[in-house]
C-alpha cells in the first residue's frame, strides 16, 4: 500500500499496567493484514536506573508490541498519539531502543554508563510513533541536513507530569528544527488534549500568548544541554525560531511517509528493528 489507513481510536493516559485501546496499522505496509485492536499495557522489566531496565508495551495476550511501530500516529482531526519517554521534571535520558526487538524504552548509555541530562527537563518528552527521520534524505529547507535516524521528538508543554510509556492524545502547535552535530533532529511542540489550557492554544502564536517564554525556553534548553559535557551548543535552522502549526504538520506527514518506506523496506533499515 502506498499510504497507511488512518486509525481512529481512543488513547488515554495510563499508569503501569493500566489499559489503552488502540488500532495498529503497521503491517498494512508489508502484508495488508487486517487492522487489529490490542489492549495495551505497560510492562516494566528490571529496575529503574539500571542497564537492564526496559519499559515494554504488551497486548492483552501478553505479547509485546512496539511503541514505535504498533501505536498508530494519526487519530484524525489534527490529533496524534504521543508516547512519553522522559517525564517532566526528571533527568534520566530515556529513549526508545530502535535497535532492539519490540523497541522498548530504556535509559541511554555512553561508554557503558547510564546517561542523565545535566539538569531536569521542564516538559514531557517523547516521540511520535510511526515517524522516522531518514538519514539518507538531505533536507533542502534545513541547510541540507540529514535525518538523525530516529522517530520525531515531541515536547509536550502541559502542566502535568506523565509516566514513561504513557500514550497521550496531543495536538501539534509548533516545530523547532534543531541541528545536532550536523543531523536534523526535529522538536515538535505539542499539548495533550486533557490539559486545562489545551483549548486555548492551536498555533505557535497561541503558545506565546498563553505559555509566555516557553518556546524560547525549549529552544535554549536543547541548544545548551550538551555544553556541560564539553560539546558545542546545538544549532537551530528556520531563523532560529519555532515554525507554525502548519509546518509542524508538514514535518509529521513527511516523516510518517519516510517511516512507511522504512517498514516496506524501500529504504535499508540497517540496525533498526522493524518488529
Q: What is the DSSP pairing of strand 74-76 with strand 79-86?
A: antiparallel
Active-site annotation holder among 36, 116, 117, 146: 117
The Cα 37–Cα 21 span in angstroms is: 7
Does some domain include residue 181?
A: yes
Residue spans of beta strands (DSSP E) within 17-69: 19-21, 39-45, 54-58, 64-65
Residue with cell 482531526: 77
Does some domain include residue 36?
A: no
The Cα 89–Cα 219 span in angstroms is: 17
Contact criterion met (CB below 8 Å) for 111 and 91: no
Active site residue 117: yes
Domain that holds residue 215: 41-264
- Over residues 247-260, the pLDDT tens digits come to 999 999 999 999 99
Of residues 92, 68, 59, 119, the one with CA closest to residue 274: 68
pLDDT of residue 59: 86
Does some domain include residue 116?
A: yes
Per-residue cell: 209: 500568548
pLDDT of residue 255: 98
Quick check: helix, strand or coil at residue 29?
Answer: helix
Does some domain include residue 236?
A: yes
Does some domain include residue 2?
A: no
Contact criterion met (CB below 8 Å) for 22 and 71: yes
* pLDDT above 80 for 12: no
Does some domain include residue 73?
A: yes
Does some domain include residue 71?
A: yes
Domain count, the chain: 1
CATH value at residue 145: 3.90.80.10
DSSP 246: H
pLDDT tier for residue 159 given thresholds of 50, 70 and 90: very high
- Over residues 69-115, the pLDDT tens digits come to 999 999 999 999 999 999 999 999 999 999 999 999 999 999 999 99
pLDDT of residue 60: 83
* pLDDT above 90 for 165: yes
- Over residues 180-221, the pLDDT tens digits come to 999 999 999 999 999 999 999 999 999 999 999 999 999 999
**How many Cβ atoms from other residues are within 10 Å of residue 139's Cβ?**
18
- Over residues 229-240, the pLDDT tens digits come to 999 999 999 999
Task: State the burial class of residue 120 (Cβ atoms within 10 Å of its Cβ: 0-12, 13-18, 19+).
Answer: middle
Q: Please give the share of the chain, as a percent, with pLDDT higher than 90.
A: 84
Q: Which residues contact 206 (CB under 8 A, 6 or more apart)?
A: 173, 200
* pLDDT above 60 for 26: no
- Over residues 121-150, the pLDDT tens digits come to 999 999 999 999 999 999 999 999 999 999
Does some domain include residue 184?
A: yes
If you average pLDDT over every residue of the chain, what do you get?
89
Amino acid at each position: 500500500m502506498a499510504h497507511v489507513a488512518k486509525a481512529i481510536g481512543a488513547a488515554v493516559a495510563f499508569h503501569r499496567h493500566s489499559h489503552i485501546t488502540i488500532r495498529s496499522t503497521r503491517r498494512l505496509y508489508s502484508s495488508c493484514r487486517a487492522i487489529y485492536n490490542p489492549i495495551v499495557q505497560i510492562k516494566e522489566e528490571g529496575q529503574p536506573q539500571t542497564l537492564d531496565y526496559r519499559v515494554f508495551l504488551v497486548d492483552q495476550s501478553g505479547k509485546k508490541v512496539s511503541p514505535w511501530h504498533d501505536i498508530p500516529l494519526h487519530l484524525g482531526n489534527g490529533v496524534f498519539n504521543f508516547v512519553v519517554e522522559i517525564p517532566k521534571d526528571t533527568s534520566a535520558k530515556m529513549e526508545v531502543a530502535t535497535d532492539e526487538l519490540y523497541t522498548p524504552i530504556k535509559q541511554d548509555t555512553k561508554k557503558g554508563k547510564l546517561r542523565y541530562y545535566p539538569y531536569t527537563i521542564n516538559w514531557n518528552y517523547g516521540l511520535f510513533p510511526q515517524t522516522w527521520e531518514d538519514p539518507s534524505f538531505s533536507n533542502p529547507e534545513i541547510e541540507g541536513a540529514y535525518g538523525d535516524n530516529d522517530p520525531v521528538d515531541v515536547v509536550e508543554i502541559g502542566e502535568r507530569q506523565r509516566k514513561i510509556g504513557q500514550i497521550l492524545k496531543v495536538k501539534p502547535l509548533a516545530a523547532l528544527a534543531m541541528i545536532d552535530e550536523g543531523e536534523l533532529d526535529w522538536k515538535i511542540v505539542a499539548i495533550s488534549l486533557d490539559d486545562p489550557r489545551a483549548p486555548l492554544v492551536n498555533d505557535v502564536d497561541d503558545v506565546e500568548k498563553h505559555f509566555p517564554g516557553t518556546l524560547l525556553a525549549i529552544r535554549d534548553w536543547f541548544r545548551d544541554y550538551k555544553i556541560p559535557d564539553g560539546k558545542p551548543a546545538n544549532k537551530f535552522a528556520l531563523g532560529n525560531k519555532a515554525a507554525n502549526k502548519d509546518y509542524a504538520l508538514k514535518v509529521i506527514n513527511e516523516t510518517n511517509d519516510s517511516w512507511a518506506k522504512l517498514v516496506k523496506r524501500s529504504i535499508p533499515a540497517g540496525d533498526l528493528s522493524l518488529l
